[in-house]
Structure 1
Amino acid sequence: MEAETLNIGILNIMHDKSDTQKRFAFVLKQQSTPVKVTYFYPTMHYQGRTVPEEIAHISEPLDFLKVKKMDAFIVTGAPLEKVDFLDVTYWNEMQQLFQLLQKLDIPQLYICWGAMAAANFFYGIEKQMLAHKLFGIYKQKLFTESKLLEGLPRGFTAPHARYAELNHKQISENKNLEIKALSETNHLFLVEAKSEPQVFLFAHLEYGSDALAKEYQRELKAYPDQAAILAKPQNYYEDFAQMKNPIFSWADTQTLFFKNWILQVKKERDSKLRKNSGML
């Protein structure tokens, strides 16, 4: 017994929420398996104030009853690397979500800050600030085999954009975690849990060709007095001096990674359906 459509929930906590949903809609709906995506926002973040109209229009308040109906779940990145986890306004809600997802035992994809938060909650891995923002397109080094990276060539590229990193030593010493790949700069790319359906992706593979340019312009607008020291996306423009003509060099990485992840989600969902059908 196999259902047609995969139901995937996404907690969208990125700064550019509309663009983020368009990016995920693109990468998830180009799959051979039909995907229905439900976008959520953390309710605790808006306690005592009105939810912005745009956010209310494109997403739903995080509802754990609806989460229970999902075949898989994604937690996006967030512009919170510089904030302690306990100081995040919706940290309690995030912890409840993590606990539920683990109990449901469904595939979980945690991205960038979402990966840092989940790895900290589940395994106590500490977040550490980087001396400078990791920002640009970098080649990746594969350490151990991963089904999610099948089909990718040696030195495949991926976009990174973050101010913090998880403690590599703590990950390596944790018997439940495995580093699958690092960037050429020796920053985390992919970590997977060994006995849980948890994937920690530290690159923004959902990013489209213009995402890094938009991120730089957003920071430039927010901090005009820091223009001289703001990190510029590396290995991204044909003309770096003029910051023109971005190159979408990670397109194949994006396509294959999400294809492989969706195949894993479908395999897990169909296996559960067959098991439940046999018990009837």
Structure 2
Amino acid sequence: MATPQIRVGVLNLMHDKVDTQQRFTRVLTHTDYQLALTFFYPRTHYRGRAVPNLVQQISQPLEFDRLGEFDAFIITGAPIEQLDFGAVTYIDDIHRLIDRLVQLDIPQLYICWGAMAAANYLYGIEKHCLKEKLFGVFPNHIVNHAPLLAGLPDGFLAPHARYAELDHQQILNHPDLILEATTIDDNIFSFRARQHPQSFLFAHLEYGQEALLKEYRREKNAYPDREYAKPQNYFRDPVHMRGPEFKWQPAQHAYFANWLQTVAHDMQNKKLVKE
């Protein structure tokens, strides 16, 4: 039986637009599913200024009337987790997008800042800044078994890179949310909604082998006078920051394959209902 084509929309909010697009294209096409990927940017992010040519070349302006074309949708992270949600210029676009995805019952994958913004808007989960950046490759403990974690052992490795965290206790206490996994230090890896096809992923599993090093260099180059934490448990030679290791590749392959499998099942169920 031929595998179905899955149409996935991606709102790309990351700083490194080209790398991010390449990463998601790579990890999502590493499966047996036929994919049609469309990348978007929020119009209001460029209010009062021209949209950069590069952004226009690799992505499209977010059109809410087009969302019905998609079988699933991803909102990426963004390097703005230290900002209050209300200070984000395009937060209204994010909220409107989430509302429309829920209305259409389209499976949603929210990643890092995207997960923070969505969980805050949908379920009132509060965000707080960490004392220092959570940055590196860490083992993760499975709290509740989940379809997207199928095939992953307890203690699986994943890259985390963020300055903020959601309120852990609020997630545990919320009747509509299920905590799936955390780091051994109790930072969130993922949780999901009980009643809606919504997954919230806090590790950057889409990252390739060099991504943490690139992130460190980008921040250091932007503010050379500041001290930045180096990514932990990442380099073969941590003193000289040499030899980044791709320790999370097994988790990357499993997680995104599992997510696309749940999307394919959702498509099949909707098809049977229509018939």
Aligned to 1:248: 246
Residues 3 and 33 in structure 2, CA contact (< 8 A), matched pair in contact too:
no
1-10 or 52-61: bigger deviation: 1-10
Is the contact made by 1:3 and 1:270 (CA closer than 8 Å) also made in structure 2?
Answer: no
In the TM superposition, what are the counterparts of 1:90-101 in structure 2 within 5 Å? 90-101=90-101
**Structure 2 residue identity aligned to 1:217:** R
Structure-1 residue corresponding to 2:265:
267
Any idea what SS the aligned residue of 1:170 has?
helix
- How high is the TM-score relative to the length of structure 2? 0.98
Instruction: Quote the residue 2:187 is aligned against.
Output: 187
Structure 2, unaligned runs of 5 or more: none
Q: Which runs of 5+ in 1 are unaligned?
A: none
Look up the SS of the partner of 1:207 in the other structure. coil
Aligned to 1:171: 171
Residue 13 of structure 1 pairs with residue 13 of structure 2: yes
Q: 1:4 deviation in Å?
A: 2.7
1:132-189 CA distance string (max 9 Å, x none): 0000000000011101111112210000000000001111111001111001221000
In structure 1, distance between residues paired with 2:44 and 2:99: 17
Shift of 1:79: 0.6
Q: Distance in 2 between matches of 1:5 and 1:154?
A: 32
How far has the Cα of 1:3 moved from its partner? 7.6
Asked if residue 24 in structure 1 is aligned to residue 24 in structure 2, the reply is yes
* SS, match of residue 129 in structure 1: strand
Secondary structure of the equivalent of 1:275? Answer: helix
CA–CA distance in structure 1, aligned partners of residues 57 and 271 of structure 2? 33
Between Structure 1 and Structure 2, how many residues are aligned? 275
Distance, in Å, in 2 between the alignment partners of 1:2 and 1:107 is 22
Q: CA RMSD in A?
A: 1.1
Cα contact 2:45–2:90 (8 A) shared by 1: yes
Tell me the alpha carbon deviations over residues 57-81 of structure 1, each in whole angstroms, 9 at most, x when there is no partner.
0000001122121000000000111
Aligned to 2:161: 161
Runs of 4 or more consecutive aligned structure 1 residues displaced over 4 Å after TM superposition: none
- Contact 2:73–2:109 (CA under 8 A) maintained in structure 1: yes
Please give the secondary structure, in 1, of the residue aligned with 2:51.
Answer: coil
Secondary structure of residue in 2 paired with 1:224: coil
Partner of 1:148: 148
Q: 1:267 & 1:218 partners in 2: Cα distance?
A: 39
TM-score, L = length of structure 1: 0.96
**1:173, 1:30 → 2: CA distance?**
36
SS in structure 1 opposite 2:225? Answer: helix
Q: Map 1:66-77 to 2 at 5 A.
A: 66-77=66-77
Percent identity (aligned): 49
The answer on whether the counterparts of 2:5 and 2:35 sit within 8 Å (CA) in structure 1 is yes
Match of 1:130 in 2: 130
Indicate conservation of the 8 Å contact 2:4/2:264, yes or no. Answer: no
Q: Is the 8 A contact 1:8 1:70 kept in 2?
A: yes
Distance 1:2 1:192 in 2: 29
Q: Name the SS of the counterpart of 2:69 in structure 1.
A: coil
Whole-angstrom CA distance in 1 between matches of 2:32 and 2:2: 14
Alignment partner of 1:93: what SS?
helix
SS at match of 1:57: helix
Distance 1:28 1:102 in 2: 22
Q: What is the Cα deviation at residue 219 of structure 1?
A: 0.4
